[in-house]
Protein backbone atom coordinates (compact mmCIF):
# COMPACT_ATOMS: atom_id res chain seq x y z
CA UNK A 1 0.00 0.00 0.00
CA UNK A 2 2.79 2.45 0.85
CA UNK A 3 4.63 1.71 -2.40
CA UNK A 4 1.47 2.49 -4.39
CA UNK A 5 0.97 5.78 -2.58
CA UNK A 6 4.60 6.74 -3.23
CA UNK A 7 4.29 5.83 -6.92
CA UNK A 8 1.11 7.90 -7.27
CA UNK A 9 2.73 10.86 -5.54
CA UNK A 10 5.75 10.60 -7.84
CA UNK A 11 3.55 10.52 -10.95
CA UNK A 12 1.48 13.49 -9.81
CA UNK A 13 4.59 15.48 -8.95
CA UNK A 14 5.93 14.85 -12.46
CA UNK A 15 2.73 16.19 -14.00
CA UNK A 16 2.84 19.29 -11.83
CA UNK A 17 6.16 20.38 -13.30
CA UNK A 18 4.84 20.63 -16.87
CA UNK A 19 4.97 24.17 -18.29
CA UNK A 20 1.81 25.90 -19.53
CA UNK A 21 1.08 25.44 -23.22
CA UNK A 22 0.69 28.22 -25.75
CA UNK A 23 -2.52 30.23 -25.55
CA UNK A 24 -5.37 29.76 -28.00
CA UNK A 25 -6.70 33.13 -29.15
CA UNK A 26 -10.29 33.05 -30.42
CA UNK A 27 -10.28 34.96 -33.74
CA UNK A 28 -12.49 38.04 -33.90
CA UNK A 29 -12.76 38.26 -30.10
CA UNK A 30 -10.65 39.42 -27.19
CA UNK A 31 -10.67 36.01 -25.46
CA UNK A 32 -7.56 33.89 -24.85
CA UNK A 33 -7.77 30.33 -23.53
CA UNK A 34 -4.92 28.46 -21.85
CA UNK A 35 -4.64 24.73 -21.14
CA UNK A 36 -2.31 24.22 -18.20
CA UNK A 37 -1.46 21.88 -15.30
CA UNK A 38 -3.62 22.14 -12.18
CA UNK A 39 -1.03 23.96 -10.05
CA UNK A 40 -0.81 27.40 -8.47
CA UNK A 41 2.47 28.02 -10.33
CA UNK A 42 0.93 27.26 -13.74
CA UNK A 43 -2.12 29.41 -12.96
CA UNK A 44 0.14 32.33 -12.06
CA UNK A 45 2.27 31.82 -15.19
CA UNK A 46 -0.76 31.95 -17.49
CA UNK A 47 -2.16 34.97 -15.61
CA UNK A 48 1.10 36.80 -16.29
CA UNK A 49 1.00 35.74 -19.93
CA UNK A 50 -2.60 37.00 -20.27
CA UNK A 51 -1.59 40.34 -18.72
CA UNK A 52 1.18 40.70 -21.33
CA UNK A 53 -1.17 39.82 -24.22
CA UNK A 54 -3.79 42.33 -23.08
CA UNK A 55 -1.18 45.02 -22.34
CA UNK A 56 -0.24 44.98 -26.03
CA UNK A 57 -3.79 46.25 -26.68
CA UNK A 58 -3.63 48.66 -23.72
CA UNK A 59 -6.28 46.63 -21.91
CA UNK A 60 -6.39 44.65 -18.67
CA UNK A 61 -6.73 40.87 -18.39
CA UNK A 62 -9.83 39.55 -16.62
CA UNK A 63 -10.26 35.83 -15.92
CA UNK A 64 -13.69 34.83 -17.20
CA UNK A 65 -13.66 31.05 -16.76
CA UNK A 66 -11.60 28.23 -15.32
CA UNK A 67 -12.51 24.56 -15.54
CA UNK A 68 -10.23 21.98 -13.94
CA UNK A 69 -9.87 18.23 -13.61
CA UNK A 70 -7.56 16.64 -11.06
CA UNK A 71 -4.55 17.20 -13.33
CA UNK A 72 -5.17 20.09 -15.74
CA UNK A 73 -7.22 23.23 -16.32
CA UNK A 74 -8.64 25.26 -19.14
CA UNK A 75 -8.68 28.95 -18.22
CA UNK A 76 -9.99 31.84 -20.30
CA UNK A 77 -9.03 35.50 -20.00
CA UNK A 78 -10.71 38.45 -21.69
CA UNK A 79 -8.97 41.74 -22.51
CA UNK A 80 -11.15 44.57 -21.21
CA UNK A 81 -10.78 48.34 -21.22
Do residues 36 and 48 touch, judged by C-beta distance below 8 A?
Answer: no
Give 30 or 51, the one with higher predicted confidence. Answer: 51
* Higher pLDDT pick, 51 / 14: 51
C-alpha atoms less than 13 angstroms from C-alpha of 24 in its C-beta half-sphere: 8
Nearest to 13 by CA among 74, 67, 66, 71: 71
pLDDT of res. 20 = 52
* Residue numbers of the domain that contains 24: 2-80
Give start and end residues of each alpha helix (H) in the chain: 2-16, 40-55
Quote the pLDDT of residue 16: 46
Based on the structure, what is the number of domains in the chain?
Answer: 1
Amino acid sequence: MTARALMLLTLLTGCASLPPVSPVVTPGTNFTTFEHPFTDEAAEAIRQQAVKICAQQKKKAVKTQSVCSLTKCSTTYQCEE
